[in-house]
Structure 1
Protein backbone atom coordinates (compact mmCIF):
# COMPACT_ATOMS: atom_id res chain seq x y z
CA UNK A 1 0.00 0.00 0.00
CA UNK A 2 1.05 3.61 -0.58
CA UNK A 3 1.22 5.88 2.46
CA UNK A 4 -1.06 8.88 2.71
CA UNK A 5 0.37 12.17 1.44
CA UNK A 6 1.04 14.62 4.28
CA UNK A 7 -1.49 17.13 2.94
CA UNK A 8 -4.39 14.62 2.91
CA UNK A 9 -6.04 16.08 6.00
CA UNK A 10 -6.21 19.54 4.37
CA UNK A 11 -8.15 18.26 1.37
CA UNK A 12 -11.91 17.94 1.36
CA UNK A 13 -12.89 14.46 2.57
CA UNK A 14 -15.61 12.82 0.49
CA UNK A 15 -17.12 9.41 1.30
CA UNK A 16 -18.25 7.36 -1.71
CA UNK A 17 -20.41 4.26 -1.21
CA UNK A 18 -20.62 1.63 -3.97
CA UNK A 19 -24.09 0.08 -4.01
CA UNK A 20 -26.09 -2.21 -6.27
CA UNK A 21 -27.19 -5.77 -6.90
CA UNK A 22 -24.93 -8.70 -6.06
CA UNK A 23 -22.35 -9.49 -8.81
CA UNK A 24 -22.76 -6.10 -10.51
CA UNK A 25 -19.02 -5.54 -10.04
CA UNK A 26 -18.84 -3.08 -7.09
CA UNK A 27 -15.76 -4.58 -5.40
CA UNK A 28 -13.93 -5.04 -8.72
CA UNK A 29 -14.48 -1.38 -9.62
CA UNK A 30 -13.40 -0.18 -6.17
CA UNK A 31 -10.29 -2.40 -6.33
CA UNK A 32 -9.40 -1.15 -9.81
CA UNK A 33 -9.75 2.47 -8.65
CA UNK A 34 -7.26 1.75 -5.85
CA UNK A 35 -4.84 0.32 -8.41
CA UNK A 36 -5.27 3.22 -10.86
CA UNK A 37 -4.68 5.78 -8.10
CA UNK A 38 -1.59 4.00 -6.77
CA UNK A 39 -3.10 2.69 -3.55
CA UNK A 40 -2.39 -0.92 -4.59
CA UNK A 41 0.91 -1.59 -6.35
CA UNK A 42 1.68 -4.03 -9.17
CA UNK A 43 3.33 -6.53 -6.85
CA UNK A 44 0.30 -6.72 -4.53
CA UNK A 45 -2.08 -7.01 -7.46
CA UNK A 46 -0.01 -9.84 -8.96
CA UNK A 47 -0.18 -11.65 -5.64
CA UNK A 48 -3.99 -11.32 -5.62
CA UNK A 49 -4.08 -12.59 -9.21
CA UNK A 50 -2.05 -15.71 -8.37
CA UNK A 51 -4.14 -16.55 -5.30
CA UNK A 52 -7.39 -15.98 -7.18
CA UNK A 53 -6.18 -18.29 -9.94
CA UNK A 54 -5.49 -21.01 -7.35
CA UNK A 55 -9.13 -20.78 -6.27
CA UNK A 56 -10.41 -20.73 -9.89
CA UNK A 57 -11.57 -17.15 -9.28
CA UNK A 58 -9.19 -15.34 -11.61
CA UNK A 59 -11.66 -12.62 -12.66
CA UNK A 60 -12.27 -11.66 -9.01
CA UNK A 61 -8.71 -10.68 -8.12
CA UNK A 62 -9.33 -6.91 -8.21
CA UNK A 63 -12.14 -7.21 -5.65
CA UNK A 64 -9.68 -8.72 -3.17
CA UNK A 65 -8.33 -5.24 -2.40
CA UNK A 66 -11.55 -4.71 -0.42
CA UNK A 67 -12.98 -8.22 0.12
CA UNK A 68 -10.33 -9.23 2.61
CA UNK A 69 -11.76 -12.24 4.45
CA UNK A 70 -11.73 -15.77 3.08
CA UNK A 71 -15.53 -16.18 3.03
CA UNK A 72 -15.86 -13.14 0.76
CA UNK A 73 -13.04 -14.29 -1.50
CA UNK A 74 -14.32 -17.86 -1.79
CA UNK A 75 -17.93 -16.88 -2.53
CA UNK A 76 -17.26 -13.65 -4.43
CA UNK A 77 -19.79 -11.88 -2.18
CA UNK A 78 -19.11 -8.85 -0.02
CA UNK A 79 -20.45 -9.44 3.51
CA UNK A 80 -18.89 -6.69 5.60
CA UNK A 81 -18.55 -3.19 4.19
CA UNK A 82 -15.10 -2.86 2.62
CA UNK A 83 -13.21 0.32 3.49
CA UNK A 84 -10.37 1.95 1.58
CA UNK A 85 -9.28 5.37 0.36
CA UNK A 86 -7.60 7.09 -2.55
CA UNK A 87 -6.27 10.54 -3.36
CA UNK A 88 -6.51 12.95 -6.26
CA UNK A 89 -4.86 16.35 -6.47
CA UNK A 90 -8.11 17.95 -5.33
CA UNK A 91 -9.74 15.60 -2.81
CA UNK A 92 -9.39 12.70 -0.38
CA UNK A 93 -11.94 9.92 -1.02
CA UNK A 94 -13.08 7.26 1.42
CA UNK A 95 -14.43 4.18 -0.39
CA UNK A 96 -17.27 2.22 1.21
CA UNK A 97 -17.92 -1.03 -0.69
CA UNK A 98 -21.40 -2.14 0.39
CA UNK A 99 -22.62 -5.76 0.23
CA UNK A 100 -25.09 -6.35 -2.59
CA UNK A 101 -26.84 -9.48 -1.28
CA UNK A 102 -30.26 -8.87 0.29
CA UNK A 103 -29.24 -10.81 3.42
CA UNK A 104 -26.66 -8.12 4.23
CA UNK A 105 -28.79 -5.00 3.66
CA UNK A 106 -28.64 -4.10 7.40
CA UNK A 107 -24.82 -3.98 7.07
CA UNK A 108 -25.21 -1.63 4.12
CA UNK A 109 -27.57 0.90 5.76
CA UNK A 110 -25.34 2.12 8.58
CA UNK A 111 -22.36 2.47 6.28
CA UNK A 112 -24.34 4.23 3.55
CA UNK A 113 -25.33 6.83 6.15
CA UNK A 114 -21.62 7.77 6.24
CA UNK A 115 -21.55 8.57 2.50
CA UNK A 116 -21.80 11.84 0.55
CA UNK A 117 -21.98 10.24 -2.91
CA UNK A 118 -23.39 6.89 -4.03
CA UNK A 119 -22.11 5.00 -7.05
CA UNK A 120 -24.93 2.71 -8.15
CA UNK A 121 -23.24 -0.07 -10.11
CA UNK A 122 -25.39 -1.67 -12.82
CA UNK A 123 -24.45 -4.70 -14.90
CA UNK A 124 -25.15 -4.15 -18.60
CA UNK A 125 -24.74 -7.88 -19.31
CA UNK A 126 -27.82 -9.41 -20.91
CA UNK A 127 -30.09 -10.78 -18.17
CA UNK A 128 -28.05 -9.38 -15.27
CA UNK A 129 -29.46 -5.86 -15.49
CA UNK A 130 -32.99 -7.24 -15.59
CA UNK A 131 -32.37 -9.57 -12.60
CA UNK A 132 -30.96 -6.74 -10.50
CA UNK A 133 -33.58 -4.14 -11.37
CA UNK A 134 -36.76 -6.19 -11.31
CA UNK A 135 -38.63 -7.18 -8.16
CA UNK A 136 -36.43 -9.23 -5.87
CA UNK A 137 -33.22 -7.58 -7.08
CA UNK A 138 -31.33 -5.14 -4.89
CA UNK A 139 -30.88 -2.26 -7.37
CA UNK A 140 -34.14 -0.56 -6.37
CA UNK A 141 -33.84 -1.07 -2.61
CA UNK A 142 -30.22 0.13 -2.54
CA UNK A 143 -31.10 3.32 -4.45
CA UNK A 144 -34.03 4.05 -2.12
CA UNK A 145 -31.90 3.44 0.97
CA UNK A 146 -29.09 5.66 -0.32
CA UNK A 147 -31.51 8.55 -0.79
CA UNK A 148 -33.18 7.91 2.55
CA UNK A 149 -29.95 7.96 4.57
CA UNK A 150 -28.97 11.28 3.05
CA UNK A 151 -26.78 10.64 0.00
CA UNK A 152 -26.90 13.85 -2.02
CA UNK A 153 -25.63 12.72 -5.43
CA UNK A 154 -25.86 9.40 -7.28
CA UNK A 155 -23.61 8.26 -10.12
CA UNK A 156 -25.08 5.38 -12.11
CA UNK A 157 -22.11 3.39 -13.36
CA UNK A 158 -23.24 1.01 -16.10
CA UNK A 159 -20.58 -1.69 -15.80
CA UNK A 160 -19.53 -4.71 -17.88
CA UNK A 161 -19.86 -2.74 -21.11
CA UNK A 162 -16.96 -4.87 -22.43
CA UNK A 163 -18.97 -8.09 -21.99
CA UNK A 164 -19.47 -10.02 -25.27
CA UNK A 165 -23.26 -9.68 -24.88
CA UNK A 166 -22.86 -5.86 -24.85
CA UNK A 167 -19.59 -4.90 -26.62
CA UNK A 168 -19.95 -1.20 -25.74
CA UNK A 169 -23.34 -1.08 -27.44
CA UNK A 170 -24.88 2.41 -27.15
CA UNK A 171 -28.39 1.00 -27.53
CA UNK A 172 -27.94 -1.32 -24.51
CA UNK A 173 -26.58 1.57 -22.42
CA UNK A 174 -29.57 3.73 -23.34
CA UNK A 175 -31.96 0.85 -22.61
CA UNK A 176 -30.60 0.53 -19.05
CA UNK A 177 -30.65 4.30 -18.61
CA UNK A 178 -34.24 4.68 -19.83
CA UNK A 179 -35.48 2.08 -17.34
CA UNK A 180 -33.54 3.51 -14.40
CA UNK A 181 -34.12 7.24 -14.84
CA UNK A 182 -37.92 7.34 -14.22
CA UNK A 183 -37.47 5.10 -11.16
CA UNK A 184 -34.69 7.26 -9.67
CA UNK A 185 -36.73 10.40 -10.29
CA UNK A 186 -40.27 9.41 -9.29
CA UNK A 187 -39.87 6.58 -6.82
CA UNK A 188 -36.56 7.51 -5.17
CA UNK A 189 -36.70 11.31 -5.40
CA UNK A 190 -33.38 12.27 -7.03
CA UNK A 191 -33.42 15.34 -9.29
CA UNK A 192 -32.25 14.19 -12.78
CA UNK A 193 -30.75 17.62 -13.61
CA UNK A 194 -28.67 18.03 -10.42
CA UNK A 195 -28.39 14.73 -8.56
CA UNK A 196 -27.98 11.94 -11.16
CA UNK A 197 -25.16 11.24 -13.61
CA UNK A 198 -24.87 8.18 -15.89
CA UNK A 199 -21.65 6.79 -17.33
CA UNK A 200 -20.48 3.52 -18.96
CA UNK A 201 -17.41 1.59 -17.76
CA UNK A 202 -15.62 -1.73 -17.42
CA UNK A 203 -14.50 -2.51 -13.89
CA UNK A 204 -12.41 -5.44 -15.07
CA UNK A 205 -10.36 -3.51 -17.65
CA UNK A 206 -10.58 -0.14 -15.90
CA UNK A 207 -12.05 1.54 -19.00
CA UNK A 208 -13.58 4.95 -18.19
CA UNK A 209 -12.65 4.85 -14.50
CA UNK A 210 -9.67 7.21 -14.70
CA UNK A 211 -9.07 7.69 -18.42
CA UNK A 212 -11.50 7.78 -21.39
CA UNK A 213 -11.63 4.67 -23.53
CA UNK A 214 -11.38 4.55 -27.33
CA UNK A 215 -13.81 1.61 -27.31
CA UNK A 216 -16.66 3.97 -26.40
CA UNK A 217 -16.67 6.85 -28.87
CA UNK A 218 -20.29 7.81 -28.18
CA UNK A 219 -19.67 8.76 -24.52
CA UNK A 220 -18.20 12.25 -24.33
CA UNK A 221 -18.42 12.90 -20.58
CA UNK A 222 -15.67 12.61 -17.96
CA UNK A 223 -14.51 9.24 -16.58
CA UNK A 224 -15.50 8.41 -12.98
CA UNK A 225 -12.53 9.76 -10.97
CA UNK A 226 -12.25 13.11 -12.81
CA UNK A 227 -16.05 13.48 -12.55
CA UNK A 228 -15.92 12.98 -8.77
CA UNK A 229 -13.43 15.85 -8.57
CA UNK A 230 -15.93 18.20 -10.24
CA UNK A 231 -18.63 17.71 -7.59
CA UNK A 232 -19.26 20.65 -5.27
CA UNK A 233 -18.23 20.63 -1.61
CA UNK A 234 -20.65 18.45 0.37
CA UNK A 235 -19.58 19.08 3.92
CA UNK A 236 -21.10 21.26 6.60
CA UNK A 237 -19.56 24.23 8.32
CA UNK A 238 -17.08 23.76 11.16
CA UNK A 239 -19.17 26.24 13.17
CA UNK A 240 -22.10 23.85 13.76
CA UNK A 241 -22.65 21.81 16.92
CA UNK A 242 -20.57 18.63 17.26
CA UNK A 243 -22.50 15.59 16.04
CA UNK A 244 -20.66 12.30 15.59
CA UNK A 245 -22.95 9.22 15.41
CA UNK A 246 -21.14 6.11 16.66
CA UNK A 247 -20.96 3.43 13.96
CA UNK A 248 -18.90 0.88 15.90
CA UNK A 249 -16.91 0.51 19.12
CA UNK A 250 -14.37 -1.86 20.61
CA UNK A 251 -11.68 -2.12 23.29
CA UNK A 252 -8.02 -1.89 22.34
CA UNK A 253 -5.94 -0.60 25.25
CA UNK A 254 -8.85 1.72 25.92
CA UNK A 255 -12.26 2.60 24.51
CA UNK A 256 -12.28 3.07 20.71
CA UNK A 257 -15.23 4.44 18.68
CA UNK A 258 -15.67 4.85 14.91
CA UNK A 259 -17.93 7.28 13.08
CA UNK A 260 -18.31 10.12 10.61
CA UNK A 261 -18.25 13.69 11.93
CA UNK A 262 -21.49 15.14 10.58
CA UNK A 263 -21.17 18.62 12.06
CA UNK A 264 -18.77 20.79 14.04
CA UNK A 265 -15.09 20.11 14.65
CA UNK A 266 -13.23 17.88 17.12
CA UNK A 267 -9.75 18.36 18.56
CA UNK A 268 -7.44 16.05 20.46
CA UNK A 269 -7.89 16.70 24.19
CA UNK A 270 -11.43 18.06 23.75
CA UNK A 271 -14.15 17.14 26.26
CA UNK A 272 -17.44 15.92 24.80
CA UNK A 273 -20.71 14.38 26.00
CA UNK A 274 -21.83 10.88 24.98
CA UNK A 275 -25.58 10.93 24.40
CA UNK A 276 -28.20 9.69 25.19
CA UNK A 277 -26.47 9.25 28.59
CA UNK A 278 -25.57 12.87 29.29
CA UNK A 279 -23.75 11.91 32.52
CA UNK A 280 -20.81 10.64 30.48
CA UNK A 281 -18.24 13.37 29.94
CA UNK A 282 -15.48 11.93 27.75
CA UNK A 283 -12.10 13.20 26.64
CA UNK A 284 -10.63 12.61 23.19
CA UNK A 285 -7.23 11.07 23.89
CA UNK A 286 -6.34 10.22 20.27
CA UNK A 287 -7.85 11.06 16.90
CA UNK A 288 -7.27 9.21 13.60
CA UNK A 289 -8.49 9.62 10.03
CA UNK A 290 -10.09 6.43 8.72
CA UNK A 291 -9.52 4.15 6.91
CA UNK A 292 -5.85 5.09 6.48
CA UNK A 293 -5.51 5.29 10.30
CA UNK A 294 -3.51 8.50 10.13
CA UNK A 295 -3.17 10.36 13.45
CA UNK A 296 -4.39 13.96 13.54
CA UNK A 297 -5.08 16.65 16.14
CA UNK A 298 -8.12 18.23 14.45
CA UNK A 299 -11.07 16.88 12.46
CA UNK A 300 -13.70 18.66 10.37
CA UNK A 301 -17.15 17.67 9.01
CA UNK A 302 -17.25 14.81 6.52
CA UNK A 303 -14.24 12.98 7.96
CA UNK A 304 -14.49 9.32 8.98
CA UNK A 305 -12.74 9.03 12.33
CA UNK A 306 -11.43 6.64 14.94
CA UNK A 307 -11.30 8.11 18.44
CA UNK A 308 -9.75 6.82 21.65
CA UNK A 309 -11.87 8.05 24.56
CA UNK A 310 -11.27 8.52 28.27
CA UNK A 311 -14.09 8.52 30.82
CA UNK A 312 -16.31 5.76 29.43
CA UNK A 313 -16.12 1.98 29.08
CA UNK A 314 -16.65 0.24 25.76
CA UNK A 315 -19.58 -1.72 27.25
CA UNK A 316 -21.40 1.54 28.04
CA UNK A 317 -21.61 2.54 24.35
CA UNK A 318 -23.96 1.31 21.63
CA UNK A 319 -23.90 2.04 17.88
CA UNK A 320 -26.21 5.00 17.38
CA UNK A 321 -24.97 6.90 20.44
CA UNK A 322 -23.83 10.45 19.60
CA UNK A 323 -20.81 12.50 20.62
CA UNK A 324 -21.84 16.14 21.20
CA UNK A 325 -20.48 19.27 22.82
CA UNK A 326 -21.90 20.18 26.24
CA UNK A 327 -23.19 23.57 25.01
CA UNK A 328 -25.41 22.01 22.36
CA UNK A 329 -26.59 18.48 23.17
CA UNK A 330 -28.52 16.45 20.62
CA UNK A 331 -32.08 15.49 21.49
CA UNK A 332 -32.90 12.10 22.94
CA UNK A 333 -36.21 10.36 23.52
CA UNK A 334 -38.52 7.46 22.66
CA UNK A 335 -41.56 9.11 21.09
CA UNK A 336 -41.76 11.22 17.95
CA UNK A 337 -44.10 12.15 15.13
CA UNK A 338 -42.98 11.46 11.58
CA UNK A 339 -44.14 11.62 8.00
CA UNK A 340 -43.66 8.23 6.37
CA UNK A 341 -44.16 6.73 2.92
CA UNK A 342 -45.13 3.06 2.73
CA UNK A 343 -42.88 1.61 0.02
CA UNK A 344 -43.63 -2.09 0.06
CA UNK A 345 -46.06 -3.96 2.30
CA UNK A 346 -48.60 -6.56 1.19
CA UNK A 347 -51.14 -6.03 3.97
CA UNK A 348 -52.45 -2.98 5.81
CA UNK A 349 -50.57 -1.30 8.66
CA UNK A 350 -52.48 -0.41 11.83
CA UNK A 351 -51.56 1.10 15.22
CA UNK A 352 -49.54 -1.46 17.16
CA UNK A 353 -47.45 -2.44 14.12
CA UNK A 354 -43.83 -3.27 15.04
CA UNK A 355 -40.77 -2.82 12.83
CA UNK A 356 -37.05 -2.07 13.03
CA UNK A 357 -36.02 1.58 12.83
CA UNK A 358 -32.77 2.60 11.08
CA UNK A 359 -31.91 6.24 11.82
CA UNK A 360 -28.33 7.53 11.23
CA UNK A 361 -26.19 4.70 12.75
CA UNK A 362 -28.88 3.64 15.24
CA UNK A 363 -30.92 0.45 14.90
CA UNK A 364 -33.84 0.03 17.31
CA UNK A 365 -37.19 -1.74 17.64
CA UNK A 366 -40.08 0.64 17.11
CA UNK A 367 -43.89 0.57 17.23
CA UNK A 368 -46.39 2.71 15.34
CA UNK A 369 -48.61 3.79 18.25
CA UNK A 370 -50.95 6.18 16.38
CA UNK A 371 -51.96 7.03 12.83
CA UNK A 372 -52.50 10.80 12.85
CA UNK A 373 -53.52 11.56 9.26
CA UNK A 374 -53.01 10.65 5.62
CA UNK A 375 -51.00 13.02 3.43
CA UNK A 376 -51.71 13.58 -0.26
CA UNK A 377 -48.44 12.94 -2.13
CA UNK A 378 -48.98 15.68 -4.72
CA UNK A 379 -50.56 18.49 -2.71
CA UNK A 380 -49.28 17.54 0.80
CA UNK A 381 -52.84 18.14 2.00
CA UNK A 382 -53.64 16.31 5.25
CA UNK A 383 -56.79 14.30 5.86
CA UNK A 384 -59.15 15.69 8.52
CA UNK A 385 -59.94 12.31 10.03
CA UNK A 386 -57.60 9.75 11.51
CA UNK A 387 -57.17 6.72 9.25
CA UNK A 388 -57.78 3.26 10.71
CA UNK A 389 -54.95 1.84 8.58
CA UNK A 390 -52.43 2.72 5.86
CA UNK A 391 -51.24 0.65 2.94
CA UNK A 392 -48.57 0.49 0.23
CA UNK A 393 -47.84 3.72 -1.71
CA UNK A 394 -49.65 5.90 0.85
CA UNK A 395 -48.05 8.69 2.88
CA UNK A 396 -49.12 9.48 6.42
CA UNK A 397 -48.14 11.17 9.65
CA UNK A 398 -47.71 8.70 12.49
CA UNK A 399 -46.55 8.60 16.09
CA UNK A 400 -43.70 6.17 16.75
CA UNK A 401 -42.25 4.87 20.01
CA UNK A 402 -38.89 3.12 20.29
CA UNK A 403 -38.09 0.37 22.78
CA UNK A 404 -35.22 2.43 24.25
CA UNK A 405 -34.18 6.08 24.37
CA UNK A 406 -32.41 7.04 21.14
CA UNK A 407 -30.70 10.16 19.78
CA UNK A 408 -32.54 11.96 16.99
CA UNK A 409 -33.35 15.42 15.65
CA UNK A 410 -36.16 16.83 13.55
CA UNK A 411 -35.47 16.71 9.82
CA UNK A 412 -35.89 20.50 9.63
CA UNK A 413 -33.18 21.14 12.24
CA UNK A 414 -30.69 18.42 11.30
CA UNK A 415 -31.54 16.32 8.22
CA UNK A 416 -28.80 13.71 8.75
CA UNK A 417 -30.30 12.73 12.13
CA UNK A 418 -33.93 13.21 11.13
CA UNK A 419 -34.43 10.76 8.25
CA UNK A 420 -35.00 7.04 8.70
CA UNK A 421 -36.16 3.75 7.22
CA UNK A 422 -38.42 1.04 8.64
CA UNK A 423 -37.68 -2.59 7.87
CA UNK A 424 -39.61 -5.77 8.58
CA UNK A 425 -39.07 -9.41 7.58
CA UNK A 426 -35.96 -8.58 5.58
CA UNK A 427 -37.57 -5.80 3.52
CA UNK A 428 -37.54 -2.02 3.58
CA UNK A 429 -41.21 -1.24 4.11
CA UNK A 430 -41.17 2.53 4.67
CA UNK A 431 -39.03 5.66 4.79
CA UNK A 432 -39.70 8.85 6.69
CA UNK A 433 -38.60 12.08 8.31
CA UNK A 434 -38.91 13.19 11.94
CA UNK A 435 -41.37 16.09 12.29
CA UNK A 436 -41.67 16.54 16.05
CA UNK A 437 -40.10 15.15 19.21
CA UNK A 438 -42.74 14.28 21.79
CA UNK A 439 -41.82 14.90 25.48
CA UNK A 440 -42.15 11.89 27.74
CA UNK A 441 -44.84 11.96 30.44
CA UNK A 442 -43.68 11.74 34.03
Structure 2
Protein backbone atom coordinates (compact mmCIF):
# COMPACT_ATOMS: atom_id res chain seq x y z
CA UNK A 1 0.00 0.00 0.00
CA UNK A 2 1.70 3.19 -1.18
CA UNK A 3 -1.00 5.63 -0.12
CA UNK A 4 -4.10 5.22 1.98
CA UNK A 5 -7.25 4.20 0.18
CA UNK A 6 -10.73 5.25 1.29
CA UNK A 7 -11.82 1.67 0.49
CA UNK A 8 -9.53 0.23 3.19
CA UNK A 9 -10.55 2.28 6.19
CA UNK A 10 -9.99 -0.78 8.40
CA UNK A 11 -6.21 -0.77 7.70
CA UNK A 12 -4.33 1.32 10.25
CA UNK A 13 -0.76 0.10 9.57
CA UNK A 14 2.03 1.94 7.76
CA UNK A 15 2.07 2.44 4.01
CA UNK A 16 5.03 1.20 1.97
CA UNK A 17 6.52 4.67 1.84
CA UNK A 18 6.27 5.36 5.57
CA UNK A 19 9.46 4.59 7.48
CA UNK A 20 9.27 2.69 10.73
CA UNK A 21 11.30 4.17 13.59
CA UNK A 22 12.03 0.84 15.25
CA UNK A 23 11.82 -2.91 14.73
CA UNK A 24 10.64 -5.16 17.52
CA UNK A 25 11.62 -8.78 18.25
CA UNK A 26 10.10 -11.04 15.64
CA UNK A 27 9.90 -8.32 12.97
CA UNK A 28 11.61 -9.01 9.67
CA UNK A 29 13.86 -6.15 8.64
CA UNK A 30 15.65 -5.58 5.36
CA UNK A 31 18.47 -3.15 4.75
CA UNK A 32 21.38 -2.50 2.43
CA UNK A 33 25.00 -2.02 3.44
CA UNK A 34 27.24 0.17 1.34
CA UNK A 35 29.89 -1.81 -0.58
CA UNK A 36 28.43 -5.21 0.40
CA UNK A 37 26.79 -7.28 -2.33
CA UNK A 38 24.01 -9.75 -1.55
CA UNK A 39 26.10 -12.52 -3.15
CA UNK A 40 28.79 -11.92 -0.49
CA UNK A 41 26.36 -12.72 2.35
CA UNK A 42 26.02 -16.27 3.62
CA UNK A 43 23.75 -18.17 6.00
CA UNK A 44 24.79 -17.52 9.59
CA UNK A 45 26.15 -14.00 9.07
CA UNK A 46 25.11 -11.64 11.87
CA UNK A 47 24.61 -7.88 11.55
CA UNK A 48 25.34 -5.80 14.63
CA UNK A 49 26.23 -2.33 15.83
CA UNK A 50 30.00 -1.98 15.37
CA UNK A 51 30.19 0.69 18.07
CA UNK A 52 28.09 -1.04 20.75
CA UNK A 53 28.95 -4.67 21.56
CA UNK A 54 29.71 -5.81 17.99
CA UNK A 55 29.10 -9.44 17.08
CA UNK A 56 32.38 -11.33 16.79
CA UNK A 57 33.48 -14.85 16.02
CA UNK A 58 33.53 -17.26 18.96
CA UNK A 59 36.68 -19.33 19.50
CA UNK A 60 34.90 -21.54 22.03
CA UNK A 61 31.83 -21.50 24.25
CA UNK A 62 30.52 -23.25 27.33
CA UNK A 63 26.98 -24.55 27.03
CA UNK A 64 24.35 -26.20 29.14
CA UNK A 65 23.11 -29.18 27.11
CA UNK A 66 20.33 -31.71 27.56
CA UNK A 67 20.80 -35.04 25.76
CA UNK A 68 17.42 -36.11 24.42
CA UNK A 69 17.84 -38.66 21.66
CA UNK A 70 21.28 -40.22 21.16
CA UNK A 71 21.69 -43.99 20.79
CA UNK A 72 25.03 -44.17 22.59
CA UNK A 73 27.33 -42.33 24.94
CA UNK A 74 28.59 -38.82 24.18
CA UNK A 75 32.18 -38.24 25.24
CA UNK A 76 34.95 -35.69 24.67
CA UNK A 77 35.71 -35.32 20.95
CA UNK A 78 32.11 -35.86 19.77
CA UNK A 79 31.57 -33.64 16.70
CA UNK A 80 27.91 -33.16 15.66
CA UNK A 81 26.26 -30.28 13.78
CA UNK A 82 25.04 -27.34 15.87
CA UNK A 83 22.09 -25.26 14.61
CA UNK A 84 22.13 -21.80 16.19
CA UNK A 85 20.13 -18.85 14.77
CA UNK A 86 20.52 -19.22 10.96
CA UNK A 87 23.92 -20.88 11.23
CA UNK A 88 24.69 -24.58 11.16
CA UNK A 89 28.22 -25.72 11.79
CA UNK A 90 30.08 -28.75 13.10
CA UNK A 91 31.24 -28.27 16.69
CA UNK A 92 33.51 -30.40 18.80
CA UNK A 93 32.51 -31.28 22.36
CA UNK A 94 36.09 -30.67 23.47
CA UNK A 95 35.49 -31.12 27.19
CA UNK A 96 32.51 -32.34 29.20
CA UNK A 97 32.85 -30.18 32.31
CA UNK A 98 29.98 -31.31 34.54
CA UNK A 99 26.94 -33.55 34.75
CA UNK A 100 23.96 -31.70 36.26
CA UNK A 101 20.70 -32.78 37.88
CA UNK A 102 18.03 -31.32 35.58
CA UNK A 103 15.46 -30.89 38.35
CA UNK A 104 17.59 -29.13 40.95
CA UNK A 105 20.35 -27.68 38.76
CA UNK A 106 22.95 -29.08 41.16
CA UNK A 107 26.24 -30.47 39.93
CA UNK A 108 26.32 -34.27 40.15
CA UNK A 109 29.79 -34.95 38.77
CA UNK A 110 32.86 -33.02 37.59
CA UNK A 111 34.54 -34.04 34.33
CA UNK A 112 32.32 -37.07 33.65
CA UNK A 113 33.56 -39.52 31.02
CA UNK A 114 30.29 -39.32 29.07
CA UNK A 115 26.71 -38.02 28.84
CA UNK A 116 23.78 -40.18 27.73
CA UNK A 117 20.04 -39.81 27.05
CA UNK A 118 18.34 -37.92 29.84
CA UNK A 119 21.57 -36.34 31.10
CA UNK A 120 22.27 -32.63 31.34
CA UNK A 121 25.69 -31.09 31.61
CA UNK A 122 28.01 -28.25 30.79
CA UNK A 123 30.26 -28.74 27.79
CA UNK A 124 33.06 -26.69 26.27
CA UNK A 125 32.46 -26.55 22.50
CA UNK A 126 34.80 -25.58 19.68
CA UNK A 127 33.31 -24.55 16.30
CA UNK A 128 35.11 -26.14 13.34
CA UNK A 129 34.45 -23.06 11.16
CA UNK A 130 33.97 -19.37 12.02
CA UNK A 131 30.70 -18.91 13.91
CA UNK A 132 29.01 -16.05 15.76
CA UNK A 133 27.17 -16.99 18.95
CA UNK A 134 26.28 -15.06 22.09
CA UNK A 135 25.23 -15.99 25.60
CA UNK A 136 21.57 -16.85 26.01
CA UNK A 137 21.28 -14.37 28.90
CA UNK A 138 22.42 -11.46 26.72
CA UNK A 139 21.02 -12.35 23.27
CA UNK A 140 18.57 -15.29 23.51
CA UNK A 141 18.14 -15.76 19.75
CA UNK A 142 21.90 -16.10 19.29
CA UNK A 143 22.39 -18.23 22.39
CA UNK A 144 20.05 -21.21 22.01
CA UNK A 145 20.72 -24.18 19.78
CA UNK A 146 19.87 -27.70 18.69
CA UNK A 147 22.47 -30.40 18.12
CA UNK A 148 21.92 -32.70 15.15
CA UNK A 149 23.50 -36.05 14.40
CA UNK A 150 22.34 -39.25 12.77
CA UNK A 151 19.66 -37.26 10.87
CA UNK A 152 17.89 -36.28 14.09
CA UNK A 153 18.00 -33.77 16.92
CA UNK A 154 20.03 -35.37 19.69
CA UNK A 155 20.38 -32.46 22.11
CA UNK A 156 19.32 -28.89 22.84
CA UNK A 157 21.04 -26.25 24.88
CA UNK A 158 21.93 -22.68 25.71
CA UNK A 159 25.24 -20.86 25.70
CA UNK A 160 26.39 -19.76 29.17
CA UNK A 161 29.82 -18.26 28.33
CA UNK A 162 31.82 -17.64 25.20
CA UNK A 163 35.38 -16.81 24.29
CA UNK A 164 35.52 -14.12 21.61
CA UNK A 165 38.09 -14.07 18.87
CA UNK A 166 40.30 -11.03 19.55
CA UNK A 167 39.53 -8.29 17.05
CA UNK A 168 42.20 -7.58 14.48
CA UNK A 169 44.07 -10.82 15.26
CA UNK A 170 43.75 -13.91 13.11
CA UNK A 171 43.38 -17.14 15.09
CA UNK A 172 45.34 -20.01 13.56
CA UNK A 173 44.91 -23.63 14.62
CA UNK A 174 48.37 -25.17 14.80
CA UNK A 175 49.04 -28.78 14.02
CA UNK A 176 45.86 -29.20 12.00
CA UNK A 177 46.30 -30.63 8.52
CA UNK A 178 43.67 -30.09 5.86
TM-score range, shorter chain: 0.7 to 0.9
Match of residue 65 from structure 2: 340
Per the alignment, residue 42 of structure 2 pairs with: 318
Give, in angstroms, the shift of residue 312 of structure 1.
1.3
TM-superposed deviation, 1:330: 2.2
Q: Pick closer, same or farther for the CA change 1:383–1:313 going to 2, 3 Å.
A: same
User: Per the alignment, in what secondary structure is the counterpart of residue 305 of structure 1?
Assistant: coil
Is residue 123 of structure 2 the alignment partner of residue 398 of structure 1? yes
CA contact (8 A) 1:334 1:403 kept: no
Which one has a bigger Cα radius of gyration? 1
TM (normalized to structure 1)?
Answer: 0.33
Distance in 2 of aligned mates of 1:388 and 1:90: 59
**Mapping of residues 226-237 of structure 1, within 5 Å:** none
- Using structure 2 for the length normalisation, give the TM-score: 0.78
Which structure carries more relative contact order (alpha carbon 8 Å, separation 6+)? 2
C-alpha separation in 2, matches of 1:439 and 1:305: 26
Residues 375 and 383 in structure 1, CA contact (< 8 A), matched pair in contact too: yes
Contact 1:334 1:404 in 2 (8 A): no
> After superposition, what is the alpha-carbon deviation per residue over 1:120-158, rounded to whole angstroms, capped at 9, x for unaligned?
xxxxxxxxxxxxxxxxxxxxxxxxxxxxxxxxxxxxxxx
How far is 1:385 from its partner?
A: 2.5
Indicate the SS of the match to 2:141: helix
Match in the other structure for 2:101: 376
User: What's 2:174 paired with?
Assistant: none
Give 1:297 deviation, angstroms.
Answer: 3.4
1:431 pairs, out of 151, 156, 163, with 156
Contact map agreement 1:343 1:430 (CA 8 A) in 2? yes
C-alpha deviations, 1:147-206, integer Å up to 9, x for none?
xxxxxxxxxxxxxxxxxxxxxxxxxxxxxxxxxxxxxxxxxxxxxxxxxxxxxxxxxxxx
2:98–2:109 Cα contact (<8 Å) kept: yes
* Counterpart-to-counterpart distance in 2, 1:309 and 1:383: 49
* Secondary structure of the structure 2 residue equivalent to 1:324: coil
Cα distance in 1 between the residues matched to 2:3 and 2:77: 54
**Partner residue of 2:28?**
304
Match of 2:134 in 1: 409
